[in-house]
Amino acid sequence: MTDSRVQPPASEIRDLFDRIAPVYDQLNHWLSLGQHRVWKLMTVKWIYPKVGDICLDLCCGSGDLAQLLARQVGAKGQVYGVDFSPAQLAIAKARVEHHYPPLTISWVEADVLNLPFPDNYFDGATMGYGLRNVADIPQCLQELYRVLKPGAKAAILDFHRPTQWPMGAFQQWYLDYIVVPCARAFGLTEEYAYIAPSLDRFPTGQQQVELARKEGFAHATHYAIAAGMMGVLVLSKA
């Protein structure tokens, strides 16, 4: 049996996201009661994207954040959506294929620990539900720092363990009795049961701040949202 305290290999995580890709958007919408859209809008607003900017969305999944960024940077800008799951990227690409006006998004299959971009390239970056799943969080933050321009911001949205006992207990109940049973209906019990142990391994908000500062970010703040069950790590490069 796999030790839940140990991060699974990257290949296992990629396979997991490939398997859940067909129902990923539908389940996210149901299980968050539609609130994930609000959290993603907040995440994009925290980096202040402007018309003409070049922006990056890491672990882009089916492309929600990349689409929001593309609408902000306009036709003069450019967005790169990066993910290591080809199934998720295929869905992301299909979702915008007939969008009018066209969105300036390039979909890139790549590892966030080894990004195929030059130093100091992006005006801003987002990441949704990805940092918790990378094999090496410091290396991911280091790569993010490398590709951002001086003065650029990044915002990282993810699950968070509430510090208050009632909300922590509610979150665990919700995962055990709502999330996993809903996933079971799609034959994805193991895939969504993975969320709880991944949260147990994930650094707290303050630990994320400390890790980001070690990688060189001048400013790092973690904002707890959704009663502490979600969080956004906002970073600035000097």
Exposure class string for 194-203: b at 16+ Cβ within 10 A, else e: bbbbbbeebe
pLDDT of residue 1: 35
DSSP letter (8 states) at residue 7: P
Query: What are the pLDDT digits (tens) for 145-163?
Result: 999 999 999 999 999 988 8
CATH number at 10-161+203-236: 3.40.50.150
Helix (H, G, I), strand (E, B) or coil at 142: helix
pLDDT of residue 29: 78
Asked whether the CA dihedral 110, 112, 113, 116 is positive or negative, the reply is: positive
Q: Where are the alpha helices (DSSP H) in 125-217?
A: 137-147, 165-174, 180-184, 189-193, 195-201, 205-214
Asked whether the CA dihedral 196, 34, 65, 145 is positive or negative, the reply is: negative
Mean pLDDT (the chain) is: 92
pLDDT of residue 5: 57
Query: Which tokens hold the place of 86?
Result: 């080809």
What's the whole-model pTM score? 0.90
Weakly modelled stretches of the chain, pLDDT under 50: 1-2
Phi, psi angle pair for 45, to nearest 5°: -60, -30
